[in-house]
């Protein structure tokens, strides 16, 4: 984690953003107190691999009753 004061942040914003992009967190202080925390934006999720998911699902055992019925039963029993 990098900590810089406000004047340094203004002067070197581009460099700080490069560090944030690389995964590092940056804290900006004013008069010695932290006032901002810059962290990398979350990356977009990868698309699901549907074929692999379907293959995995095919290996799972079938339920004897519908899942909605099982959920209602669990809810009513307080599980």
CATH architecture of 2-38: 3-Layer(aba) Sandwich (3.40)
- Token pair, residue 39, equals 């962290």
pTM, two decimals, is: 0.53
Cα torsion 17, 19, 23, 29 to 10°: value is -70
* pLDDT given at position 43: 74
Whether the predicted pLDDT of 79 surpasses 90: no
pLDDT 10s digits, 14-70: 999 999 999 899 999 999 999 999 999 887 778 889 999 999 999 999 888 898 999
What's the pLDDT score for residue 58?
93
* Confidence (pLDDT) at 46: 83
What sections of 4-66 are H helices per DSSP? 6-11, 13-21, 50-58
């Amino acid at each position: 984690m990098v900590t810089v004061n406000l004047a340094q942040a203004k002067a070197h914003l581009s460099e700080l953003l490069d560090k944030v992009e690389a995964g590092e967190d940056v804290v900006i202080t004013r008069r010695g107190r932290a006032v901002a925390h810059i962290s990398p934006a979350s990356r977009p999720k990868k698309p699901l691999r549907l074929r692999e998911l379907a293959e995995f699902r095919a290996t799972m055992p079938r339920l004897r009753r519908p899942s909605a019925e099982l959920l209602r039963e669990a809810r009513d029993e307080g599980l």
